[in-house]
Amino acid sequence: MLSSSMTRRRPPLLKLAAELSEAVFFYSRREHIERDRGMRDKLGMCSSAIEEELDEGYRSGDRRRFRDALHRAKMWTMELEFHLRFCVTMGYAPRSEVAEYIRDCDEVTRRIERLQKRLGGPGWSPDDED
C-alpha cells in the first residue's frame, strides 16, 4: 500500500505536472497554435493526461497500479515534448517560447524515472520522492 500521507499533501511531481499542464494549455490557445486545432488538441490532451495519470497513480493505493501510471505518464510526457518540438519545426512557435515547457517535460521525465528506480527498492514510499 502507498502511504496514507498522500491524501494530505500534493507530491512535488504532481504539482510540477499540474503547472506544466496549465502552462501548456494556455500556451496552446495562443493565435499561432490555435489555428491548427489538431496541434492545439494534441498539446492539451498530452499535458492533461500527464497530470491525470500521476494523480490516478498516487490515489490508487497500489504499487503495481502506481508503477503502471508512472509508465503511462512518462509516455505522455515524451509525446508532449515531441509535439512541442514539432511546433518549432513547423514554424508555429519560436524555440524561445517553448524552451521552458520542454525543460519542464525533461524535469517531469527525470522525476518519474527516479520514482521508477526507487519503486523496486524495499520499503519504498512515494513520500521518498524528493
Instruction: Give the count of alpha carbons within 13 A of 40, CB side only.
Output: 12
- Residue 128 inside a domain? The answer is no
In the chain, what percentage of residues exceed pLDDT 70? 85
CA 122, CA 103: separation in Å to the nearest integer? 31
* pLDDT tens digits along 91-118: 888 999 999 999 999 999 999 999 988 8
CATH code of the domain in which 59 resides: 1.20.1440.60
- Residue 53 inside a domain? The answer is yes
- Residue 92 inside a domain? The answer is yes
Domain assignment of residue 109, given as a range: 13-119
- Residue 125 inside a domain? The answer is no
Q: How many domains does the chain have?
A: 1
What residue has cell string 500527464?
50
- Residue 130 inside a domain? The answer is no
Residues 6+ apart with CB under 8 A from 100: 23
* pLDDT tens digits along 64-82: 899 999 999 999 999 999 9
Q: Helix 37-60 crosses helix 12-28 at what angle (to 10 degrees)?
A: 160
CA 126, CA 54: separation in Å to the nearest integer? 11
pTM above 0.75, yes or no: yes
